[in-house]
Amino acid sequence: MSDTLFPIAIFFASIFTGNILLTNYLGMCSFLAVSKELETSAGLGIAVTFVLTVTTPLNWLVYKFLLVPFGLEYLRFIVFIIVIAAFVQLIEMAIERYSEGLYYALGIFLPLITVNCAILGASLFMVIREYNFVSSIFFGLGSGLGWFIAIVAMAGIRQKLRTAKVPPGLEGAGITLVIAGFMAMAFMGFSGMIAVS
Amino acid sequence: MIVTLLISIGIISLIAVFLALLMVIADATIGNYGQVQISINDGAKQLQVQGGQPLLKTLNQEGIFIPSACGGRGSCGLCKVQVVEGGQAYLPTELPWISEEERKSNVRLSCQYKVKSDIAILVPEELFLVRQFDTIVESIKDLTHDIKEVRLKLIDPPQIDAKAGQFIQFVVPEYGDVDESVYRAYSMASAPSDNKHIELEIRLVPNGICTTYVHNYLKVGDKVTVNGPYGDFYLRDNDHDIICIAGGSGMAPIKSILLDLAEKGSQRKATYFFGARSKRDLFLVDEMKQLESKLAGFTFVPALSEPSPEDNWEGQIGLITEVVKRNILDGSNSDAYLCGSPGMIDACIKVLQELGVPQERIYYDKF
């Protein structure tokens, strides 16, 4: 594949074939907890997409220009987390100040995102898979959109599920995990489409 | 080896310092809302405050105490304030506590609502009377196996003006494993005339932050901070008969009400039903019996629901609702004051209505 097309392929691959939530099961806790309502799910999904799109390339820069030159790759876990936490904090303050509407839509979800493992996961994958800067942007955006699609789909299913008879032992998180499994299998149907790791 | 170690420490510190600097700059620029004006009750009071903080905290710093049981974490829903001008959209953390009616009149949860621009708010007048008091523990007494009476002496300010039946908030400092200061509400058991002291009756709740503190940590001579008075559960001045019903530490506000009646030389007919499980849960019986001689129309009716054989109990037996039903024939000319658990109060309200007590004359304090 040509170098110019590679980021585009990564973008689609990270939405469908390599969906960070459904193939790697990252970001599960907020996925299970928040997917009850369609509206809040969409809010959290947008917030995750936004933070992923920015922190993945940001961490790429930190990794490439601060950690690699000094041979400190082993510190990436802690450094990535610090960068993500600080960035989320900054974003929250900025949104609160300048965009009232967005703050009321995303505001309470932003602090939650600091500890969403999909965010850290994307940064770590980008290192392992040796993406370049542009690819890391597309990877972040794609992963975020993949997460968004997954949680919104789950919220839709769970809203229908309210009228369904669920065996008592499976109510709540149980049935949600089972459904997540089915969704993951459904997404495997995309696997012939693009193969990029 | 040492060099790599130093380099890694250096790089990590560099990143941390850079991010911290960024945060400080952001705090001073993005997070700085400058001075804002708060106009209270149509301009009756004007405050000039630093913006960006929750309304509850801002008002607290200015000496206006809005009652809140959870201490501003958005989990009790008590600290409602009406923001008539300048309010922003509702936060998702407020909505569970705000009814459709309240939304229309712009009632906000003041611990969640941040003051970012000039606003106008309405605060009930009586909250201006609320003060923070520095006090010292004068005595601690065991009333029963799990209820303690704590008597506080007011230091600064030296005097509290409360109505009989109102409550205060007790500020619990950090202690033991509790690493955050919290406050909890307790009714005052002392008479309003005893305005240099506050008496509380506190039952030990297993794992309760405040009750554990009071029962296991608090000593005579300790400093305690309280604020108050709060609440619309207080003695109404009229000539109706009075029915009081309480259980456990619900004794406190009722005691205050009865002492107040006695001091005023009231001739109102008053009956006080006090429910307990067995004799070991009864307390202040002698004091109440003494009140019967001081207070012309007063009868004290203690009742046990499960007296144990060794109690030799000759008084009323049964659930408090049954005892009330047995002893009150017609409640249509009565005011009722109830204090106790929500279950008990709901059951009593039902019985009192059956006995003819008008609903608007039933006052209660659920805890």
Residue A161 belongs to some domain of the structure: yes
Is it the case that residue A197 has pLDDT exceeding 60?
no
| Rounded Cα–Cα distance for residues A15 and A9 (Å) | 10
At residue A53, does pLDDT exceed 90?
A: yes
The SS3 of residue B39 is strand
User: Min CA distance, B361 vs chain A (Å)?
Assistant: 42
Placement of tokens 């420490």 in the chain = B9
Single out the residue of B41, B33, B126, B27 nearest to residue B88, CA to CA: B33
Q: Residue A1: inside a domain, yes or no? A: no
B-contacting residues in A 58-117 (Cβ below 8 Å) = 62, 66-67, 70-72, 75, 78-79, 82-83, 86, 89-90, 93-94, 97-98, 100-101, 104, 107-108
End residue of a domain, out of B199, B230, B261: B230
- Domain assignment present for B23: no
- Rounded to an integer, the average pLDDT of B54-61 is 89
pTM here is 0.61
Q: Of B230, B251, B275, which closes a domain?
A: B230
Query: Do B250 and B361 belong to one domain?
Result: yes
- Looking at residue A2, its pLDDT comes to 60
Residues B280 and B347 in one domain: yes
Number of domains in chain A: 1
- Look at residue B293 and give its three-state secondary structure: helix
Lowest mean pLDDT among A94-108, A163-177, B267-281: A94-108
Do B106 and B173 fall within a single domain?
A: no
Q: Is residue B19 part of a domain?
A: no
As a whole number, mean pLDDT of residues A96-104 equals: 76
DSSP A35-104: TTSHHHHHHHHHHHHHHHHHHHHHHHHHIIIIIGGGT-GGGHHHHHHHHHHHHHHHHHHHHHHH-HHHHH
Give me the pLDDT at residue A107, please. 61
Q: Do B11 and A75 touch (CB under 8 A)?
A: yes
Give yes or no for a contact between A153 and A183, defined as CB atoms under 8 angstroms apart.
yes
Residue B21 lies in a domain: no
Kindly state whether residues B162 and B219 are assigned to the same domain: yes
Query: Does B157 lie in the same domain as B107?
Result: no
| Amino acid making up residue B93 | T
Q: Is residue A166 part of a domain?
A: yes
Range(s) of the domain holding residue B304: 241-366
Q: Compute the nearest-CA separation of B111 from chain A (Å).
A: 15
In three state form, how does the secondary structure of A125-179 look? HHHHCCCCHHHHHHHHHHHHHHHHHHHHHHHHHHHHHCCCCCCHHHCCHHHHHHH
Same domain, B253 and B149: no
Asked if residues B291 and B318 have their Cβ atoms less than 8 Å apart, the reply is no
pLDDT band at B179 (very low <50, low <70, confident <90, very high): confident
pLDDT of residue B74: 81
Is B293 a domain residue?
yes
- For B32, nearest residue in chain A (alpha carbons): A97
Mean pLDDT on B290-313: 88
- Is the same domain home to B256 and B323? yes
Q: What is the mean pLDDT of residues B354-363?
A: 90
- Using the Cβ of B221 and the Cβ atoms of chain A, whether some distance falls under 8 Å is answered with no
Top mean pLDDT of A141-145, B1-5, B174-178 is at: A141-145
Interface of B with A in 62-121 (CB under 8 A): 88-93
Instruction: Return the CATH number at B143.
Output: 2.40.30.10
User: For chain A, what percent of residues have pLDDT higher than 70?
Assistant: 94
HSE toward the beta carbon, residue B43, CA cutoff 13 A? 0
Q: Is the pLDDT of residue B253 over 90?
A: yes
Closest CA to A122 of A111, A136, A135: A136
pLDDT value for A1: 53
Q: With respect to residue A34, please indicate whether it lies within any of the assigned structural domains.
A: yes
- B345 and B260 assigned to the same domain: yes
Size of interface A-B (CB pairs under 8 A): 54
Residue A151 belongs to some domain of the structure? yes
DSSP letter string over B47-93?
EEEESSSBHHHHHHHTT-----SSSSSSSS---EEEEEES--PPPTT
Cα(A176)–Cα(A89) distance, integer angstroms: 30
Ramachandran angles phi, psi of B179, nearest 5°? -105, 20
Is residue A197 a part of any domain in this protein? no
With a cut of 80, say whether residue B181 has pLDDT above it. Answer: no
Q: How far is CA B252 from CA A86, B141, B147, B188, B203, in A?
A: 50, 14, 11, 6, 11
Whether residues B117 and B151 share a domain: the answer is no
Domain count, chain B: 3
> In this predicted model, which residue has the larger pLDDT, A139 or B231?
A139
Same domain, B345 and B299: yes
CB B56 within 8 A of CB B110: yes
Structure confidence at residue A99 (pLDDT): 74
Residue B256: inside a domain: yes
- Both B122 and B136 in one domain: the answer is no
Is residue B94 located within the same domain as residue B146? no
Predicted local confidence at residue A93, as pLDDT: 84
ipTM of this predicted structure: 0.74
Nearest Cβ partner for A93 among B7, B30, B89: B30
Candidates B26, B88, B89; nearest CB to A93: B26
Quick check: is B339 in a domain? yes
Q: Is residue B194 assigned to a domain?
A: yes
Q: Is residue A66 part of a domain?
A: yes
Average the pLDDT over A5-23 and give the result. Answer: 88
Size of chain A, expressed as the number of residues it contains: 197
Is residue A173 predicted with pLDDT exceeding 90? no
Instruction: Give the domain extent around A52.
Output: 6-192
